[in-house]
Copies of this chain bind each other. A is one copy, B any other.
Amino acid sequence: MIALLLRDMRLAVRAGGGFGLGLAFFLLVAVLVPLGVGPESATLAKIAPGILWVGALLACLLSLDRIFALDFEDGSLDLLATAPIPLEGAVAVKALAHWAVTGLPLTLAAPVLGILLNLPQAGYGWLVISLALGTPALSVIGAFGAALTVGLKRGGLLLSLLVLPLYVPTLIFGAEVVKRGAEGMATATPLALLAGITAGAAAMLPFAAAAAIRINLR
């Protein structure tokens, strides 16, 4: 399992830089939105928490199809499914690897992008905390969506369609934490709910995803 984790991370880093690129996309969203919306800092400050969370979510989404599709195409997934590690474990490890190369760097880089979007001072800490708590859920849910679409030729957009509604609660609670934090309000409730979603998703979805993969392979 550790071998799988290392392999997936190594592949992500080698394949034109999984790391850098998730980040880069996040950065580009943070840059494009002010370009599209216009430069007034009051408006930007207001929408910053939401846009940052939406950006993180899209950055995650874009790399989801890597989780299984590459392994499916070159036949590794067949071989993994017949290997002596449980498929549920493999799914969980792959989601973890995905998080390590997208969610984690996004979380660390988010404060810098907060500056671009005029995020109020008080919001920075909450931004990092909410992303740290919420992005693992994005990876796990995404792995489930990727498992559903793995057999389909380049199901990239179908994957987005399936996964985005599933992301809604995470997004709402995550953005809410930052918004409340930025305005100095209490954040305990949305934070607890966010943690709950992450824990629940991590506990249950690998089983659903492994089932979906087995179905897709047969």
The residues of A with any CB-CB pair to B shorter than 8 Å are 15-18, 21-22, 24-25, 28-29, 31-33, 35-38, 43, 46-47, 49-51, 53-54, 57-58, 62-63, 65-66, 70, 73, 149, 152-158, 160-161, 164-165, 167-168, 171-172, 175, 179
CB-nearest residue of chain B to A168: B35
A164 and chain B: residue at smallest CB distance:
B28
10 A-B pairs in the complex with CB atoms less than 8 angstroms apart: A16-B152, A16-B158, A17-B158, A21-B160, A29-B58, A32-B171, A33-B51, A37-B47, A38-B175, A58-B58
User: Contact: B24 with A36, CB < 8 Å?
Assistant: no
Q: How many copies does the complex hold?
A: 2
**Chain B residue with the shortest CB-CB distance to A66:** B154
Chain A interface main SS type: helix
Contacts of A49 in B (CB 8 A): 36-37
Do A35 and B172 touch across chains, with their CB atoms under 8 A apart?
A: yes
The reply to whether A53 and B36 form a contact with Cβ atoms under 8 Å apart is yes
For the complex, give the distance between the alpha carbons of A49 and B17 in Å.
33
Pairwise interchain contact A22-B164, C-beta atoms closer than 8 A: no
A15 partner, pick from B16, B25, B33, B154, beta carbons under 8 A: B154
Query: Of B29, B156, B171, which is within 8 A of A35 by CB?
Result: B171
Whether A70 touches B154, Cβ cut-off 8 Å, given contacts A47-B37, A49-B36, is yes
Q: Which residues of B contact A22 (CB under 8 A)?
A: 157
Contacts known (A57-B32, A152-B15); A161 close to B50, Cβ less than 8 A? no
Pick from B16, B36, B53, B158: contact of A51, CB below 8 A: B36
Contact of A50 with B37 in the complex, beta carbons under 8 Å:
yes
